[in-house]
Structure 1
């Protein structure tokens, strides 16, 4: 992990942003304080209902079972599960053991999973037999000592006697390795310590309104924010956990009426899919009082539309590396909440480089990457993280994201590496040159557009041809191009580099 400047670490401790509490400490105290709190999975495939205590019992039996098989503090436990009870049990058990947990988004394909498992060499892998496009592939786990597959072998890992207490470990050690796509072709393994993850959990919890209601979480628990919202903040607050494994806006609207659930934001797609649904009525607004938006582009047209319905919008900006850089509280002025990405949050510092790139540092900033070269490129000696995003700061210190220096597409809150898409496109017959860029999407904010320059006398592939190729090489469906363009040549710099900002601009103008 990267070296944290001593003066920064001292400041974080002195202000209480870094504490000696581990994630195991946080969970043990929170679960003991509210054992009867409801925990429900809203699923057509695997519905489940119980309490914190019921899930904790499974987690503690799993912890004993893994410990009996040699899992120790510092070992790595990876899981790829939908928003199911077993995902919570695996996450909680790992924290109780002092192990480092690796959540993997359930829609990652064979290529991404194989890379992640090679990168972290987990001692344990917990997966699903089948879910949507996900099918358990035994070949990718052959070198992992302990494998548990839900509905097949997961229950075999549960000991009769639950673990008591939890293993105390160094709060500065790694507790989470979260994978995110970026400009590299392979996912990046982001390292978080107990201190960075603990601060983020407390900070994000403080941002949420006290009267936010009984939240329905649809963001995948394999994704950083989905995981924090599902498994940590409710335990810290003693609030019910309601998860859904498939986002169905019609079902979410029904649950608002029947179960009194609320939807409080996330990527803009979650909110727009609700208000655009034919079942949406003004009565639903009482279950959508707040919309905390982030994770993808947040157009002002959307925040204005939500505000006109009476929904209080507040925005935030961050990443898996630095989860909460800026944000607004729901009590701040509407123009700031609706039309900026907020101000620096507790302990966070933000500055702009000469070219407008956003640099940040703070107590929730990660400890680096599993790849030392990536760490060296992204973090400087003074502890600043170079985000790859371009922005402006107004006189009041509120940030606006204006462009993206990093070459990624953010589809419904999920990062897609343009380089990875381009490498896949170049593997198709007749493709001489390819550019993958973001295109506007009314539901998801952005989707992948493929722009191709073909070799002479080669026919243009169809979008179906391209998607079949991506399926064959095992790329997650979220990375498949959804729009296709042909060019005779690309706009270029004097050195011949493709000017992607012009490609994006041309596609946006066409749209």
Structure 2
């Protein structure tokens, strides 16, 4: 692997993309033409895009994912459809008119597609037709997928379901599954490494762990950025042998599949016990009365942190209380210390354009009231 960047000026750097800053502060990632183009490698080789496809960009084109999809269009001659603003009422209809074969990219977008299909079905003249008649699959990766999303996509919209990938602003589109892969993998995995992508899973002291064991996912390959705009951040961003610290906790399965289990910065530490916010969110999303949820850690003078659930209730659901939530978590087998100790009911969870919950904003909204 190449050595870590030195922070020196690089004449080949022509792109700067900022991370979403959902759990911290945005950081500017410096990219070259080569690293940006390599961001489309997995879409070409694993998802099988070609000139007959109609890809869509349902999020701001200035996001790192936008450059990857544009590179895909240049490489395969597929059509790329952009929307200036993703209006959940009108954007799905525009993408349908253009014959989109791929729809992305996170839960808020997917629910808009489901609602558009339901409205289409309600028109008696259409009968059982599909609104997105050429759809091949959903493409995800901006945020964790809701449980059951893969099967629901197939049942309601058709196609091969959810192709959930993995990537970062610093390392776009690291890998995807392929249409036709086993459904049990498509439901839960974040794809397999794309061409030239190398994964090293490491424990807190930097030691590489065996395949199948959990640790921090460190990554190297052709789409790796050259370093941050603030070069002082580079030293801690890379391992001595040139892998990037993603901050994602996960497992590299012996068969190559990547499973994301949480974030190093999205871990709640309560009484010296680590709680994965993602694990708690996945349990709560199975509650029939919950439409959306974001779990964050709040300061607590006794335990260090406590687990708080920010919830948008499902339409028509009765009032949800904290004791209700605790009983549901016990029923689902969630450890008692992982059960939320605070419940905040919201009309909507603040999200960025990629669908990621703005957890820093949620945390600050509560601490400001305290």
TM-score using structure 1 length: 0.47
Aligned to 1:298: 145
Q: 2:2 maps to which residue? A: 4
Where does residue 180 of structure 2 map in the other structure? 331
Question: Structure 1 pair 407/353, CA: closer, same or farther in 2 (3 Å)?
Answer: same
Distance in 1, matches of 2:368 and 2:359, equals: 24
Would you say the 8 A contact 2:56–2:82 is kept in 1? Answer: yes
The answer for the alignment partner of 1:357 in structure 2 is: 216
State the 1:223 CA deviation: 0.9
The whole-number CA distance in structure 2 between the counterparts of 1:406 and 1:303 is 27
From 358, 371, 375, the equivalent of 2:234 is 375
Asked if structure 2 preserves the Cα contact closer than 8 Å seen for 1:189 and 1:371, the reply is yes
1:285 and 1:311 in contact (8 A); partners too: no
The question of whether the paired residues in 2 share the 8 Å contact of 1:218 and 1:243 is answered with yes
Instruction: Map 1:357-506 onto structure 2 (within 5 A).
Output: 357-407=216-266, 439=310, 480-481=361-362
Residues 337 and 359 (structure 1), Cα distance of their counterparts in 2 relative to 1, 3 Å cut: same
Contact 2:138 2:163 in 1 (8 A): yes
Which residue is 1:244 aligned to?
83
Q: Please, which of 140, 159, 163 is the counterpart of residue 314 of structure 1?
A: 163
Label 1:219 to 1:207 Cα distance change in 2 as closer, same or farther (>3 A): farther
1:200 Cα shift? 1.6
Alignment match, 1:498: none
**Structure holding more helix per residue:** 1
1:168-213 CA distance string (max 9 Å, x none): xx6xx21211111348854201011222222223443334434663
Q: Is the 8 A contact 1:191 1:366 kept in 2?
A: yes
TM-score (norm 2): 0.62
For 1:442 and 1:205, how far apart are their aligned partners in 2? 39
Alpha-carbon shift at residue 296 of structure 1 (Å): 0.4
1:372-404, Cα deviation, whole Å (9 max, x unpaired): 232111102201111111112333121111111
Q: Of 180, 193, 198, which aligns to 2:32?
A: 193
Q: Find the aligned partners of 2:306 and 2:17 in 1 and give their Cα distance.
A: 27
- The unaligned stretches of length 5 or more in structure 1 are 7-74, 76-99, 101-169, 411-415, 423-432, 444-461, 468-476, 490-511
- Shift in Å, 1:285: 4.3
Q: Cα–Cα, structure 1 residues 176 and 483, in superposed 2: closer, same or farther, change >3 Å? A: closer
1:227 alignment partner, one of 67, 73, 86: 67
Larger of the two Rg values belongs to structure: 1
Q: Distance in 2 between matches of 1:334 and 1:256?
A: 26
Give, in whole Å, the separation in 1 of the partners of 2:346 and 2:119.
32
Matched, 1:174 2:13: yes
Distance apart, 1:299 and its partner CA: 2.6
| In structure 1, C-alpha distance between the alignment counterparts of 2:34 and 2:251, rounded to whole Å | 30
Q: 202-211 vs 309-318, which deviates more?
A: 202-211
Change (3 A) 1:349 1:307: same
Coordinate RMSD, CA, aligned: 4.2
SS in 2 for 1:266: coil
Deviation at 1:317, TM superposition (A): 0.7
- Provide Cα deviations, 1:221-276, integer angstroms capped at 9, x if missing partner: 121102332x3322222233321111123323433554434442222321222113
How far apart, CA to CA, are the structure 2 residues paired with 1:463 and 1:241?
35
Aligned equivalents of 1:463, 1:256: Cα separation in 2: 30
In the other structure, the counterpart of 2:196 is 347
Q: Is the 8 A contact 2:49 2:76 kept in 1?
A: no
Distance in 1 between the 2:174 and 2:22 partners? Answer: 20
DSSP-derived class of the 1:204 partner = helix
Tell me: higher relative CO, structure 1 or 2? Use CA pairs within 8 A at least 6 residues apart.
Answer: 2
The number of residues matched between the two structures is 278
